[in-house]
Amino acid sequence: MATFNPATEQLQVTLQDRVATLTLNRPEARNALAPDLTAALQHALLWVRDDDAVGALLLTGAGKAFCSGGDVKAMGARAPADQPKPSVEQQFQELRSRHHGIAGVLQALRKPTVAALPGPAAGAGMAIALACDMRIAADNAFLSTGYARIGLSGDYGIAWLLSRIVTPALARQLLLTSERVDAERAYNMGLVNEVVPAEELTRVAFEFTRTLAHGPQVAYAYLKDNLDEALEISHATAIDREADRLLKARTTQDHREAVRAFAEKREPEFKGR
């Protein structure tokens, strides 16, 4: 399958060394989400999911921001008078489809996903970053839920994501106050996994993601299954399901290659089988 070509310049897509890099490309608007961008992102995520040439995803933003969330200016724009207003049900279904198509697909991806934050990640932008497995932030980045500041209640599953990544008490604090959390504090809270100098972000994030992209893909999928279930099932059930997946992982070519590489004192060459 060829590299995905988005239908808009608002999303840039590259595939290098098994890393699919998706770059939100509206720097003049701090990469705020717009219809063309969100549609392209949904299609690109399905390509990442389905193409075996992609080993891992790196999601980032152009310029000095990751994503400032929804386009607040567009929210205040009036629809043309001759354009019928969609019903509440139509609006709900459109929101539901978009949110599942981005945050839902990200959360469900069985490939490793990394968000690189060159600057602010706010509102829906923060939610999308949290839907990735890991986050690397530039030292001048910050995160903010932002919703309460504009009288909104949250989307893209942010309350669910925050409650699992930080404590429920901190999730409430961040959502109710919309406070800005700088990179160092975000690291201490567990919102991001690493903070690096801004000028090093692109290189560090790509190298980290590249390592994941060349890892044992089948084992990664099982690991993510285990992790997704960890907060929902009992310890005894977790043991049973981990044992089942471990037995399946033992049958893979990747496991046999890793054992040979260990004996031969070399790095394994995983094939995702």
Q: For 104-155, what is each residue's pLDDT tens digit?
A: 999 999 999 999 999 999 999 999 999 999 999 999 999 999 999 999 999 9
pLDDT band at 167 (very low <50, low <70, confident <90, very high): very high
pLDDT of residue 250: 95
* DSSP state, residue 270: -
Residue with tokens 């054992």: 259
Residue with tokens 């390509």: 47
CATH number of 11-77+90-213: 3.90.226.10
- Distance separating alpha carbons of residues 154 and 126, to the nearest angstrom: 11
pLDDT of residue 251: 96
Strand 142-144 relative to strand 134-138, pairing? unpaired
CA distances from 58 to 18, 23, 142, 154, 208 (A): 11, 8, 19, 24, 9
Report whether 21 contacts 13 (CB < 8 A). Answer: yes
Model-level pTM?
0.93
- Distance separating alpha carbons of residues 44 and 11, to the nearest angstrom: 9
75-79, 80-84, 86-90 — most confident range:
86-90
Average pLDDT of every residue of the chain: 94
pLDDT of residue 79: 57
